[in-house]
Amino acid sequence: MRVLLMGGTKDSVEIGRKLKNLDNLYILYTSTTDYGGKLGIEFADKIIDKPLNKNDLNKIIKEYKINILIDATHPFAVNASKNAMDVCKSNNIEYVRFEREWKKIEHPNVIYVKDFEEGAKLAKKFNKIFHMAGIKNLKTVVDIVGKDKVVARVLPISVNEALKILPQQNIVAMYGTFSKELNKYLIRDYGCDAIITKDSGSSGGFYEKVYGALEVGAKVIVVERPKLNYPICFSDIDELINYLKK
Instruction: Tell me what pLDDT residue 74 has.
Output: 86
| Whether the predicted pLDDT of 79 surpasses 90 | yes
| Whether the predicted pLDDT of 202 surpasses 80 | no
Instruction: Tell me what pLDDT residue 119 has.
Output: 97
| Whether the predicted pLDDT of 17 surpasses 80 | yes
Query: How far, CA to CA in Å, does 74 sit from each of 22, 79, 227?
Result: 24, 11, 13
| Whether the predicted pLDDT of 225 surpasses 90 | no
| Whether the predicted pLDDT of 9 surpasses 90 | no
How large a percentage of the chain has pLDDT more than 70? 100
Range of lowest pLDDT (37-51, 143-157, 198-212): 198-212
Instruction: Give the strand pairing for 26-31 and 194-198.
Output: unpaired
Instruction: Tell me what pLDDT residue 34 has.
Output: 82
| Whether the predicted pLDDT of 106 surpasses 80 | yes
Q: Report domain extents, the chain.
A: 2-100+227-245, 110-223
CATH 3.40.50.720 fits 2-100+227-245, yes or no: yes
Instruction: Tell me what pLDDT residue 205 has.
Output: 87
| Whether the predicted pLDDT of 66 surpasses 80 | yes
CB 135 within 8 A of CB 154: yes
CB 89 within 8 A of CB 61: no
| Whether the predicted pLDDT of 203 surpasses 80 | no
Cα atoms found within 13 Å of the Cα of residue 153, Cβ hemisphere only: 19
| Whether the predicted pLDDT of 201 surpasses 80 | no
Range of lowest pLDDT (50-54, 97-101, 171-175, 231-235): 97-101
Question: In angstroms, rounded to a whole number, what is the distance separating the alpha carbons of residues 131 and 228?
Answer: 25
| Whether the predicted pLDDT of 187 surpasses 80 | yes
CB atoms within 10 A of CB 85: 18
Range of lowest pLDDT (29-33, 74-78, 159-163, 188-192): 74-78
- Of 2.40.10, 1.10.357, 3.40.50, 1.10.3470, the CATH number of 110-223 is 3.40.50
Do the domains spanning 2-100+227-245 and 110-223 agree at the CATH topology level?
yes
If you average pLDDT over every residue of the chain, what do you get? 94
Instruction: Tell me what pLDDT residue 29 has.
Output: 96
Instruction: Tell me what pLDDT residue 101 has.
Output: 75
pLDDT band, very low/low/confident/very high, at 127 (cuts 50, 70, 90): very high
**Mind listing the pLDDT tens digit for each residue in 143-179?**
999 999 999 999 998 999 999 999 999 999 998 889 9
Instruction: Tell me what pLDDT residue 102 has.
Output: 74
The structure's pTM equals 0.78
| Whether the predicted pLDDT of 35 surpasses 80 | no
Instruction: Tell me what pLDDT residue 58 has.
Output: 96
